Amino acid sequence: MTVVMFIGFLLGLTIPAFASRFGKILPADPGLVCAMLFHKPHLPNVVDLKRRELLEMKWRKMVYFSVGWGVVMGFLFAYGCAFLPHMYVYACLFFYLTALLITVDQQYYLLPDFFTIPLLLIGITFACFSSDTVLTMNERIVGAWFGYMISTLSVFIMSFFKKGEFGAGDVKMLTAFGIWLGPLGLNITLLLSFLFFYATVWIKKKRADAFGPALGIAGIIVFFLLYLKLLWTF
């Protein structure tokens, strides 16, 4: 478990660095995105003192977020290894991809296909080849359809009032979550995500914000409860 936890910590350290690159490389095909993610960063030689201070502040902030995500990923990977030995690799991939989506959307208001599609495909693979007994295949299929339909309907309704508040990335993320969490888990995820979203908007005193972080955090919490078989006791 210690090794898995350390791997989770190391992967968590990479999340803010990976997320920070999406503003410059998207839209792009998956091959180019993959190449740019691992490209050596260019550190500018800044002469202006004020700009240098801003750059140093940005790097310090990224370090703090990196360590924070490292601790969170280490804990989640350890949870997967300890309580879900039959599926801990799938659980770790779910946590890591969801964390990347949270961070990218927080910075750029974007949920890229580069992460949402693998989250969906890995969920389908898990559903087809795992021996998990928490959800049946029918529940996972219904969950995916429910995620797609409810998000598509939301986009349709909101388009009459204000465009761009709920995008295609949210649709794909909800569809992927439907595979992982089933219809009941997805309903609870949506409820929690709306509560988190409005709490964030109220705290920041903003009229709008990215929905992906609230959705991702809610999804991780529900995943945690669902696969510990605690969800059904509520």
How do residues 160-177 score in pLDDT, each as one tens digit?
555 555 567 788 899 999
Residue 46 belongs to some domain of the structure: no
Residue 185 belongs to some domain of the structure: yes
Residue 9 belongs to some domain of the structure: yes
Residue 96 belongs to some domain of the structure: yes
Residue 43 belongs to some domain of the structure: no
Range of the domain at 127: 2-33+52-233
**Measured between alpha carbons, how far apart are the two ends of the chain, in Å?**
30
pLDDT tens for each residue of 19-66: 877 766 665 566 666 666 666 555 556 556 666 677 677 777 888 888
Confidence of residue 17 (pLDDT cuts 50, 70, 90): confident
Residue 45 belongs to some domain of the structure: no
Highest mean pLDDT among 70-79, 144-153, 155-164: 70-79
Residue 40 belongs to some domain of the structure: no
At 163, the amino acid letter reads K
Number of domains in the chain: 1
Residue 108 belongs to some domain of the structure: yes
pLDDT attached to residue 176: 93
Average pLDDT over residues 178-195: 91
